[in-house]
A and B are shown apart, each in its own frame.
Chain A
Amino acid sequence: MDNTIEITGLRKEYKGFTLDDVTFTVPRGYIMGLIGPNGAGKTTIVKLIMNLIRRDAGEVRVFGMDNLRHEPEVKARIGFVYDAPRFPEDLRLETIASAISAFYEKWDGRRFRNLLEEFQLSPRQVFKKLSHGMKMKFSLAIALAHDADLILMDEPTAGLDPVFRFDLLTKLRALIQDERKTVLFSSHITSDLERVADFVTFVHKGRLVFSAAKDDILETWGVVRVSGDGISPAEVPGARGFRRTEHSLGVLTSDIAAARGRFGASVVCDMASLEDIMFFISKGNAHV
């Protein structure tokens, strides 16, 4: 499988937070979701790919090229969408687009205009007059207009109403019909990722928890629920975290089949959603 992004041993140190030893790959032709609670390091990873911040250690290869040594060649093929679009607000959309389009050889003016039409945006509108959702769509139009091979998005659905989110996810699915295109987007809205992602990479407190096919995760991770003191978390095979309440215990496991085999019908074993996983790993007790 061809990889669009290869990240190895990535490290970035901040005063109160360190992203450390992050290694994963993004295969070409698929949608990968980068999930984790706020502050987990998702945005840091995206910024390190775009070299908006300098890495302290590790390697980032995009399209087979080091993202530092071949910065312009790599970025020419990336369409980026950030959580807060960073454009001068008092300008018209067409002015912003005109300034940016010059940088991309593959910019297609007609495609851009069609996208604006599809998103119901007028080129003569002033950026600050747009709603948050429309600003995101404009960013996306810019990102798609130059036939980017990688669409990189940082929290694109945050602050969007469900209708917009649906539109955005639909658009991403349509984009992937071309198997040369890849999408990596970070989000803490797990339901969006469950809907559209092919692969999921979970980061927590600056470290990688897993990077795998979404279906594999959703088919093997589960939550064991017991009331009272029936079971201790250590007894659950594949336990990855637990949460105690006054009367019950929930244990997250990466091998629900083994848990079912072990306990049978005496406990409740549910499949874990991405939200469950995020919840247990970030809020739960990891020391099983």
Chain B
Amino acid sequence: MSVDHVLTTCPYCGTGCNFFLQVVDNRLVGIVPCKTDEISLGRLCVKGYNAHAFVHHPDRLKHPLVKDGGHMRQASWDEAYDKIVAEIKRIRDKHGPDSVIVLASAKCTNEENYLFQKLARAAIGTNNVDHCARLCHASTVTGLLTSFGSGAMTNTIPEFGDADCVLVTGSNTLEAHPLIGARIMHAMDKGAKVIVVDPRDTPLSRIAFLSLSQKPGTDIAWINGMINVIVQEGLVDDDFVKARTTDFDKVKDLVRAYTPGKVEEITGIPKEKLMAAARAYATSPKAMIAYAMGVTQHSNGTNIVKALANLAMVAGHLGKESTGVNPLRGQCNVQGACDAGGLPNLYPGYQRVDDPAAKDKFEKAWGVALQDKPGRTLTCAMKDAMIGKIKAMVIFGENVMLSDPDLTHVEQALKELEFLAVADIFMSETAQMADVVLPAACYAEKEGTFTNTDRAVRLLRKAVDAPGEARPDWQIACELGRRLGSKGFDFSSPSEIMDEMANLTPIYGGISFDRIDKELLRWPCPAKDHPGTRILHTQKFTKGLGTFSPVEHAPPAEVPSEEYPLILTTGRNLFHYHTGTMTRRSPMLERLSPEPYVEVNNSDAKAHGISEDDRVSVSTRRGTITLKARVTDRIIPGSIFIPFHYAEAPANRLTNAALDPIANIPELKVCAAKIEKA
């Protein structure tokens, strides 16, 4: 009998808590928090405590499957690989390499994502590689790259505990990033002023110093309004603005029109509250901004992110302890999947594919000619599939059939494809549509690294064997690369892959498995003797001077109408994670939140004759779903909220695929809807 406690990293949100998996004879029996972990402090959320529960689930995929006459049948790995390689070659030869796209995964490791993009770029010959960061923080990457030169959290998770003020917007932190929410509460216990701006009443907003409810889709108005108050009341950090930034005048002129009265008109936030919030933020010595998808998932998401960057620069809250602009990344490795180059326009470490020097470097390292034209984004690829420009998709661990906007459209797009291969741990809604399905190993069954939301590169350590014939994704990517006739896919361990990635990626230059086995390192970590970087932009911004970008309020792509009078917004709850493939197979989590629901304000419910627990149907221009009503005062009148975890009532049947023009992120947070008793 063997008993082990294997230290590893949580597979759920981007906080990156470490814990021990308790293993008895190759079986997970429990989870013990790691008391010496700097991030989690020996605490977990309910998802973390149940992170072992889905691993041995009988639904796990155990053998490769091939579609044969409309039915899936078991196949050998050889047959599955041969089929994928033959189809990719056939389609590439006929339609060119850009007719193929590889979807990387925010649930796979850095090493795996590095291989996925290498597979697309070096083995298939296209920059068509993207992943679900497109749906969550694409606008953070584009927005903060413009403002600061780096699209990641400027500060770290532990610093929240020492802030004097935390401005939280578009983030239900306690439910979606519970251990970061806990840090914010520690600050609150020490007297910090917490300001929450959200159309929903969240567990954090209910105990906050100030809670502001804006109409969904009016964020730039209140942010510009706050900047205006700061300017009018002489609270600008002039020294910082003068020494560290450029183009302030443009913003100063623009925000003058955003008077508290006008902002109230647009957003519904009372002017006194807006002014109080602006004062509290600007005058606190250490003030942090935290935000998530309530900011990014808009058709002007990039501009909202830039507006937040403007706000932080005006107040000089950057480059110091417990300050900064902090996007909270939603998945265990969405930060890392971006870092590792799982994006159509960027090589690993945010090196542009259209930069000749970067292209030259990767061509030399990989020994192939590369394209300098950025590839297609995930959201555009779906549109391209509809018109026959994308013919084949290879998807690693993503469930686009639940996570993407306007699912009816996604389903049609996938059906239009000539070939679809999916590697996953369960038979997801997407895998069901595939021609070949490959069984993958989950986080507890492999080695690798995740990069959490505060840029810390954290190890996964193998605790148990994968079920049946399932294999880690890095082995699958290596095998596909080799069989496509490409060199440079002969890795024998994830550690070797990281060494290659570190060699080509300056911000990861000093990262190696040996080092992170014992130390917590955050990128940028350019050299083997570099201690990593906690706070970004301390002396100067990554791009030199911070850039103020004047951005105007614009209404969402779809506004309420007579037929669709309500605003639908979507999000997560505490108990489930994304499309629920893992959490909904975890018994305790499923018991705690077993069914889909729509939150409706008391007054709207009354107007529609809806009572608690009634079955209701919610419709938008794209579809209808039926689910239970939760009548509550936790959402403002005129808006409704649906969590997107539930396949039996998928919120994304309803959502709008209108895209931000720069980031191509869809407007998942706002669309026009109606509700009726079912």
Q: Do A and B interact?
A: no
Residues of B with Cβ closer than 8 Å to A?
Answer: none
Residues of A with Cβ closer than 8 Å to B?
Answer: none
